Amino acid sequence: MSLHPYYNAENHGPYEIINIGDLDLACGKTLHNCELAVATHGQLNENKDNAILIPTWYSGTSKIIQDVFIGTGRAIDPDKYFVIIVNQIGNGLSSSPHNTLGIYAKAGFPTISIADDVTAQHRLVTEHLGLTKLALVMGGSMGAQQTYEWAVRYPSMVDRMAAIAGTARTSDINKIIADTIIHGLRTDPSFSHGDYVDSQAVSAGLTQHARLMTLYGLSASFFEQQHYKPLGFDSVEAFFEGFMKPYFSPMDPNNLITMLEKWRAVDVSALEGGNLRAALGRITAKALIMPISQDMFFPPSMCLAEAEMIKDAVFYASSSPSGHLGLFGVDGDWIREVDNQLAELLGRK
């Protein structure tokens, strides 16, 4: 139903819209006729034990997940696995502020939590796809955070998990980062308390959003070693104007804020009354915890501390000068590291 020039199948397809019905949210409200945009690759086998679930990261869609992780001959091989990519609520393809009508439209959209996404995904894979097991749940960034929520909330369903460049609980400093990004969007006068007609009118706020993604999304070495040059940009300014700004600016501010507030509140320990060790202790999945060493959002030390609370976890600190946005997959060496680690995880006995 979206007529938004960015959030459509031409840019992000193919995907199927699946109505999972009314979703009772952690905030106490109910999201009626919750729609999930789902892209699948490969076939479910007879034993129904080859399904891989990949939730999306902040501002990303199923398209970039496919481009970065999936391919014949790669670890996530559609010839061997039934891969299910679910777009997170608020990302512009699934139910989101910009494509919802009525009182939940735009800034009226309710607060969504990672738990809501995982509850919705659970209903999708059990009731709509008839699955009782997931061979692997994996994701990067907020996708890793949904992966943690899956492994803690539904441990018996998750055989393996891979949390890439993400944590089970958002750090306090990450909350200030989220506040800063949200503030940058909301204080654009054209944001009009979220009631803008054209999202592109919020250009100053979206430019500030792109600046902050540039400052925290990459790394000091990315700029010092001029890793933007192999991408075809002669200067940091050219990289910002030619890549970061055009990449993030077509997005919808209310959608972004829905995801930022979700990110800000991530804490799987809520399932154990705030006890992170007890929550991560629930995990029975064979786990790969794989931060990016240069990541400014999710530092490896935090990921290591969480990995040590998981029974069967392999911790692997990958390296990419692109920092957190190594997830974009432009760094071939990093992609090879990911494939090697995922292959090891999928082969682990």
Residue 171 in contact with its own copies, rule: CB under 8 A: yes
To its own copies, the closest distance from the beta carbon of 304 in angstroms equals: 11
Window 244-283: contact mask with its own copies (x via CB under 8 A): ----------------------------------------
Stretch that binds its own copies, among 64-72, 94-102, 202-210, 320-328 (CB under 8 A): 202-210
Kind and range of the H or E element at 144? helix 142-153
The smaller minimum CB distance to its own copies, of residues 172 and 198, is found at 172
**Among the listed residues 126, 235, 275, 340, the single contact to its own copies using CB under 8 A:** 235
To its own copies, the closest distance from the beta carbon of 15 in angstroms equals: 34
Stretch that binds its own copies, among 8-16, 101-109, 206-214, 268-276 (CB under 8 A): 206-214
Structure tokens at 191: 């944001």
Stretch that binds its own copies, among 6-14, 122-130, 184-192, 268-276 (CB under 8 A): 184-192
Nearest of 254, 252, 260, 258 to residue 200 by alpha carbon: 252
The three-class DSSP label of residue 155 is helix
Residue 27 in contact with its own copies, rule: CB under 8 A: no
Residue 215 in contact with its own copies, rule: CB under 8 A: yes
State the number of CA atoms in the 13 A half-sphere of 294 facing the CB: 20
To its own copies, the closest distance from the beta carbon of 318 in angstroms equals: 17
CA distance 311 to 314: 10
Residue 293 in contact with its own copies, rule: CB under 8 A: no
Residue 192 in contact with its own copies, rule: CB under 8 A: no
Other residues' Cβ atoms within 10 Å of the Cβ of residue 5: 12
The smaller minimum CB distance to its own copies, of residues 11 and 207, is found at 207
In this structure, is the dihedral angle defined by the CA atoms of residues 104, 124, 263 and 227, taken in order, positive or negative? negative
Residues contacting its own copies: total by CB under 8 A: 32
Residue 208 in contact with its own copies, rule: CB under 8 A: yes
**Contact between residue 259 and residue 90 where contact means Cβ atoms under 8 Å apart:** yes
Residue 183 in contact with its own copies, rule: CB under 8 A: yes
8-state DSSP, 171? -
Residue 10 in contact with its own copies, rule: CB under 8 A: no
The smaller minimum CB distance to its own copies, of residues 66 and 174, is found at 174
Of residues 295, 318, 322, 331, which has the active-site annotation? 295
Of residues 62, 113, 141, 322, which has the active-site annotation? 141
CA distance 248 to 187: 17
Residue 169 phi, psi (nearest 5) = -140, 130
295 is known as an active-site residue: yes
Nearest of 276, 20, 317 to residue 170 by alpha carbon: 276
CA distance 63 to 87: 10
The smaller minimum CB distance to its own copies, of residues 156 and 301, is found at 301
Residue 333 in contact with its own copies, rule: CB under 8 A: no
Q: Which residue has the tokens 């000068």?
A: 321
- First-to-final CA distance of the chain: 45
To its own copies, the closest distance from the beta carbon of 180 in angstroms equals: 5
β-bridge partners, 166? none
CB neighbour burial string for 241-264, b if at least 16 within 10 angstroms, e if fewer: ebbbbeebbebbbbbbbbbbbbbb
Q: Which residues are known to be catalytic?
A: 141, 295, 324
Name the site residues for its own copies (rule: CB under 8 A): 171-173, 175-177, 179-180, 183-184, 187-189, 204, 207-208, 211-212, 214-216, 220, 223-224, 235-237, 240, 296, 299, 301-302
